[in-house]
Amino acid sequence: MSFTIARTVEDALAAIAAGARPIAGGTDLVVGARHGKAALPADLVAIDRIAGLDEITVGAGNGGVTLGANVSHHAIEHHPVLAGSYSALADGSALVGSPATRHVGTIGGNVMNASPAMDTGAGLVVLGAEVELRSVHGTRRVPIGELWSGPGRTIAQPDELCVAVHLPQPAPNSGSAYLRLEYRRAMEIAVVGAAANITLAADGTVAAVRVALSAVGPTIVSVTGLDTLVGSVDDVADAVAAAASEQATPISDVRASDRYRRHTVGVMARRAVVAAARRAAGETIAIPVNRTLGIGAAS
Ligand SMILES: Cc1cc2nc3c(=O)[nH]c(=O)nc-3n(C[C@H](O)[C@H](O)[C@H](O)COP(=O)(O)OP(=O)(O)OC[C@H]3O[C@@H](n4cnc5c(N)ncnc54)[C@H](O)[C@@H]3O)c2cc1C
């Protein structure tokens, strides 16, 4: 049993190569262990004190943004570039847990924990994010949609650390949104969630749309068959709602039946398309969409 505090990425990689599990904010790992979900791993390496891993770099790689793995949900929610140009991600981070959870919980922990109900995943998919995985053997970049292989599982090797999440520059005239159905306003996870990224043509119709769903399958669901979908925002939103409900494979549990989830994810996907289109048209809808538009739990 060991607990190491890494000060550099290299320290962390060496500890992980020797069998330790990384711990960032601990809001999944430690809280899960306390709730009896899984015992704490015998060997842990704390990565929260690694210098630079909590930085947000704007203008990285062809004008995109790079988030260090330890960037907190609070930092994402309040970053002007992320809130303005990568709104679906900021909408998701702003919904995570409580203010305390958002200060401590990290983007790296959220994506590597691989919950299908995670609130940043759908936004990252529609924004075309890639994760950077590093081990003592080298570095690779993986499209975010290929990272998750099942509930709580990723394709990362046990000795790989997520060091960054890369976001490409958004297309001109585009906007995005993530929203979720929830039963209460805080300390809740999504009953279902949906993110949309919309690009508008000069006449205000939809020229391109990407949609992804949370909590309706073993991993985040990227809605397919939308590549040629164009037209009025209303028509596109209707088509997306139908596709989302059809492609969702939800389970029934104590929080909702599979039928209810299948129906409501279509409703959420429709609303995500409309909110994203409004943002693409230049309207400011404050982060998170859920609170601003009164979606989800009542106040
Ligand atoms: C009260 C409460 C409410 C919550 N509400 C929400 C919510 O509404 N929405 C939501 O999405 N989540 C929610 N969560 C879950 C959690 O806060 C987030 O998933 C958070 O982003 C996890 O980050 P962390 O740094 O705390 O991860 P940790 O607990 O430190 O780690 C989580 C997992 O990822 C691994 N890991 C961490 N960092 C890395 C890395 N850089 N590279 C490789 N592996 C890594 C760890 O080994 C572990 O397996 C909630 C948690 C709590 C306790």
Per-residue pLDDT band for 296 (boundaries 50, 70, 90) equals confident
Report pLDDT for 299: 58
Report pLDDT for 199: 98
Q: How far is the CA of 115 from the centre of ligand 1 (A)?
A: 9
For residues 198 and 182, is the Cβ–Cβ distance under 8 A?
no
Element (H, E) at 212: strand 206-214
pLDDT digits over 79-96, tens only?
999 999 999 999 999 999
Mean pLDDT of 36-48: 92
The residue to mutate among 16, 112, 148, having the most atoms of ligand 1 within 8 angstroms of its beta carbon, is: 112
- Judged against a pLDDT cut of 90, whether residue 180 lies above it is answered with yes
Domain boundaries, the chain: 1-50, 174-287
Residues having CB within 6 Å of any atom of ligand 1: 21-29, 31, 47, 69, 95-97, 101, 104-106, 108-110, 112-113, 118-119, 161-162, 187, 189
Q: How far is the CA of 271 from the centre of ligand 1 (A)?
A: 27
Report pLDDT for 30: 87
Q: How far apart are CA 106 and CA 112, in angstroms?
A: 10
Report pLDDT for 96: 95
Report pLDDT for 298: 67
Encode 259-285: b = buried (16+ Cβ within 10 Å), e = exposed.
Answer: eebbbbbbbbbbbbbbbbbbbbeeeeb
- Judged against a pLDDT cut of 80, whether residue 186 lies above it is answered with no
Mean pLDDT of 100-115: 97
Contact partners, residue 71, CB within 8 Å, separation at least 6: 54, 55, 56, 106, 107, 108, 165
> Among the CATH numbers 3.40.50.1370, 3.30.390.50, 3.40.50.11540, 3.30.565.10, which is that of 174-287?
3.30.390.50
- Atom of ligand 1 lying closest to residue 121 CA: 11
pLDDT digits over 222-241, tens only?
999 999 999 999 999 999 99
In sign, the C-alpha dihedral spanning 272, 275, 278, 283 is negative
Contact partners, residue 239, CB within 8 Å, separation at least 6: 226, 229
Residue 222: name the closest of 199, 200, 240 by CA. 240
Longest dimension (CA), the chain: 63
Which CATH fold would you assign to the domain 1-50?
3.30.43
- Atom of ligand 1 lying closest to residue 29 CA: 29
Mean pLDDT of 118-122: 98
3 state DSSP class of 200: strand
Three-state SS for 141-194 is EEEHHHCEEECCEECCCCCCEEEEEEECCCCCCEEEEEEEECCCCCCCCCCEEE
Instruction: Quote the mean pLDDT of the chain.
Output: 95
Report pLDDT for 207: 98
User: Do you find a cis peptide bond into 288, omega within 30 degrees of 0?
Assistant: yes
Report pLDDT for 188: 73
Tokens standing for residue 198:
């919309």
For residues 145 and 224, is the Cβ–Cβ distance under 8 A?
no
Between 188 and 76, name the one with better pLDDT: 76
